Structure 1
């Protein structure tokens, strides 16, 4: 869905440049947080884990669409995540032709740990820049994330542990 909005032609380039700089910083924080937690998981693989954490069980084609990659690319990525015991494939009893991907307990733990690492790093940066945070910044960033299709963390699919999970799911 594409919403056409009028953007101030003078402010738009400045906003885009500021977002580019911020996105480089955020990618750096994400990469460091992931590397500190599990250096064997790549950022694209981690993004697939986040998709499953946020949206719940998915078919490979759905993960591919969300990541905007070819289905064959998503399949190879998911094969690696299965081998790392971060996701599992299952077939619902209602339709044995369908293969769903879900996070394992280890996958949920990894997403949680990386998110917490990122939260700590971001909190430190916000603390250093407290004086510049206008009250409209947080709602603007939430609106930006929503426009990009991100699901707020408090709305993520929580799921339930399966019989072969090694520990219960913490919310």
Structure 2
């Protein structure tokens, strides 16, 4: 539980340092869009395990903040899809880079106790929790990370 709290703390700090007006659930919505591509509100709500009305309100706030936009596919005008705006994509990129830096500092400070099997175990843990590996993100995350870091490890 302490490790879980530490990771949540790093996530909260990495977001607050970039944009204190975006909540963790709102940021998670942006991550869902970054990793899975355009989504319907109902899909986002299901992914976040919230009621559809909660998902709708959260997405509306993100639209007002200019971080996501609504669009209707030409093939079916009844469907409304949500996508990241350039500002939303930049926010996800900046927070992820910030989080990676904080995690790197924490791991470096404890490097003498890490076992080689930890990284694969963390990747398996993330997969079991339903996280998509960085190299499978809709936005092509490895290219974003490789600009600022040598090796994205997905863990």
TM-score, L = length of structure 1: 0.81
Higher radius of gyration, 1 or 2: 1
Q: State yes or no: 1:48 paired with 2:42.
A: no
Q: State yes or no: 1:59 paired with 2:29.
A: no
Distance 1:158 1:32 in 2: 24
Q: Deviations over 1:45-73 (max 9, x none)?
A: 00000000000000000000000000000
- Pick one of 89, 97, 107 that aligns with 2:88: 107
Distance 1:155 1:38 in 2: 26
* SS of residue paired to 2:76: coil
Q: State yes or no: 1:35 paired with 2:16.
A: yes
Distance 1:55 1:113 in 2: 18
Pairwise CA distance, 1:36: 0.5
Distance 1:158 1:122 in 2: 22
Pairwise CA distance, 1:88: 0.2
Distance 1:158 1:129 in 2: 32
Q: 2:130 maps to which residue?
A: 149
Pairwise CA distance, 1:104: 0.3
Pairwise CA distance, 1:21: 1.4
Q: Where does the alignment leave 5 or more consecutive residues of structure 2 unmatched?
A: 145-155
Distance 1:117 1:48 in 2: 18
Distance 2:139 2:12 in 1: 24
Runs ≥4 residues deviating over 6 A: none
Q: State yes or no: 1:98 paired with 2:72.
A: no
TM-score, L = length of structure 2: 0.89
Q: Where does the alignment leave 5 or more consecutive residues of structure 1 unmatched?
A: 1-19, 160-169
